Amino acid sequence: MSEQTYKLDKLNVLIVDDSKHMRNLIRSLLNVFGVGAIQEASDGREAFIKLAAGGYDLILCDLVMEPVSGMDFIERVRKGKDSPDPFIPIIAVTGYTEQFRVTAARDIGINEILAKPISAKELAARIQAVIENPRPFVRTKTYFGPDRRRKKEEQTFYDGVERRRSNLGGDLGLSDPGLGLSDDF
């Protein structure tokens, strides 16, 4: 991750969570980060009404809420004909991190996921990921949302003997006259 510093004072964030405590916690962290405008909604229905009013740059959304879940809200934002902003970045915030749930959230169009209990470091990392690595949107017959494929930085498993030596902190001992080997083989 880069050492980039961001001015977030112009950012307008919508927090969607049925827990007032969680909304307050996220709001407090966003205030510390210097986020300029923060609005709250207690379920997907209220969030959609606020989103329709416009002006948001990012949504932080719990996935399990009543009466309208975060999953239903996100799906409507991404696929609904009445969606005011299907391209808005959405960070899912959830205490349910089983693989099938994470996959389901990814498949409805989240940009990032943040596991509860949250920390300032992890929230900042997800916001930074949305800023620094915006993913192109994809439309298929069954999906609309950010490209679900993650680009992995190329890993080089063999960069030659010099890399191995530097990783081990020095010579491998292959030039030991007792072994009959040299560095050149």
**Burial category of 101 from C-beta neighbours within 10 Å (exposed 0-12, middle 13-18, buried 19 and up):** middle
- Tens digit of each residue's pLDDT (9 = 90 or more) over 24-43: 999 999 999 999 999 999 99
- Tens digit of each residue's pLDDT (9 = 90 or more) over 127-151: 999 999 888 999 999 999 999 886 6
User: How many structural domains are present in the chain?
Assistant: 2
> Is the pLDDT confidence value at 91 over 90?
yes
Q: Are 176 and 95 in the same domain?
A: no
Query: pTM of this prediction?
Result: 0.78
Domain assignment present for residue 81? The answer is yes
Residue-wise burial string across 174-184, b where 16 or more C-beta atoms lie within 10 A, e elsewhere: eeeeeeeeeee
Residue 179: domain span? 159-185
Q: Are 69 and 116 in the same domain?
A: yes
Model confidence band, residue 116 (pLDDT cutoffs 50, 70, 90)? very high
